[in-house]
Structure 1
Amino acid sequence: MVRIVTMLLHDERFSGWSLCEKLERFHFSKQYLRFCKSFGWEPYLYCFHQSVTEKQVYEDGGLGVIKVFPVKFRFPPFLRFGNDHNPSEVLKELRIDEPDLIHFHHYYLFSFPYMAVLIKRRLKCPLTTQLHGYNQKWWRRIFYLPNLLALKKVDRIFYSYKPEESVYAKIGVLDKAVRVPMPSVDPKVFKPDRRKDPETNLLYVGRIPPAINPYGEKSPILLLLILHRLLRIRYVKLTVVGDGAGLPLCKRFAQKLKLEKHVDFRGFLPRSELPNLYRRAILTLV
């Protein structure tokens, strides 16, 4: 049986998820486990959480094995995402699990450069990685130059964003890159509601971060300012689905702008409840 270890080496400070929420809620990393399981493989997920002080192991027959490690140190400092590290314990666990393949989620994490070197030199294991993000600004590419150069160590790179191809060409790894189409929308599930709605409904679905406008992060608080301006010319309502450390701030800001009658904060909702909200919305904001 093929044993695959997928690695998502960041904690949940940016999302505000507890460990229980991380394990129970929908997340793409767990979809990867389910995908691998469908082929009869033996999948593992290595990840971090800021609340644990020692390794936690969770087994799910439908998914595989999830191993949650503590964060030993953070570098570079003052960042809220991607600077979490625990190389000795992760490497130790890899030696115990002896995977046939290692997949590293998101090569713009700061642990990727040295993990790529350790995996190839010490474990001699095939390594794949993927882009999970967007076309970075040029000045951020300089900041992440070690991550980009470490792509030379991997066997395959999976990506969906075409602008990244120019980066691969410049560092000589375009032959390793495999472009994967973005998932499409199922029209049987996500279809507009033909019934007329007396209200104009706007919809936001996603996490609510604490910062007002961090680089590359969602900013639902900005939608409140847009809504405040829209109400001068048209009656509209905004439904906000999701939670996070910034939810109390958004609620206070909505009160300050006197938007209580125009904003409906639903909090976290199961995925099964989302299609109906998408159908009723005339516009979904991301």
Structure 2
Amino acid sequence: MLDSCNVMRGSKSGLETRIRDKHCQTLLDIDGDSCHHIHNAAKKFAAPFCHNLEQLFTDLHTDHLWASDQVHYLMEVCELMGIPGTNPQRFTAHPWLSAYDVVISTRRMLPAYKNLYMDILEEIYKDHGVGERAKARIQFFHQDLRKKGMTQVGKDRKERVVKKVWFESLNTNLHLSVYLGVLPILKEYVMVFQGSQTLVRKLHDKQLEVVTSFMACFVKAEHLHTTPKKLVEMEFSDKMLPLRELQNILNIQLCCSFSTQ
């Protein structure tokens, strides 16, 4: 249950190797520990979204990585709009659930990104109580950033960001909401078993809990009260929640996620 391939599966001193050599030659090879399987499950869940958010995370991080002036402007925009500001976080595919922390900060700062990357709409100014002096300051940011020389790679990256935070904002917000509603269920499991305590006694219960909680986001409740074997073998064709109810479930998960931050 340790989240380290070397500790768990090292060919000479790995825990599984030593147990198999000295205590139990019939020990099954389960292909890694369950924490890694949870990360892989999260990655598999996100695959149908075609890496839209992951590309946005990478573009935002790269665009600010070597641009201290742009980072400064972003932080000031956040302050003017009353949004807690942080540097754009780096998304790493291993472990994949690191995406959850990036999703939280990106969702929170999305209005600031909109403001920084494109001239803002008056309605958004009003929503965040931005005054005339603050508007003038933000306009200065736009003018200054336009003067910067950009490579074609940089121009393409900015174009992708603008497209996702402005022209595809509904789609981007929907994807962020789905991630924020579902990924905490998986991450909670990983956090439990990444600690220093030995919690093998809780393994079965926690695995059943994470499977049931995950399925509850998409499957009608009356089909979840069954045996673990039937849960794994379930056919979903006539058991899925209606779209409207599915949206409500994800919204509840989203609110719970933010309330624990």
Structure of greater Rg: 2
Higher strand share: 1
Taking CA–CA contacts closer than 8 Å with sequence separation of 6 or more, which of the two structures ends up with the larger relative contact order? 2
Higher helix share: 2
TM-score (norm 2): 0.25
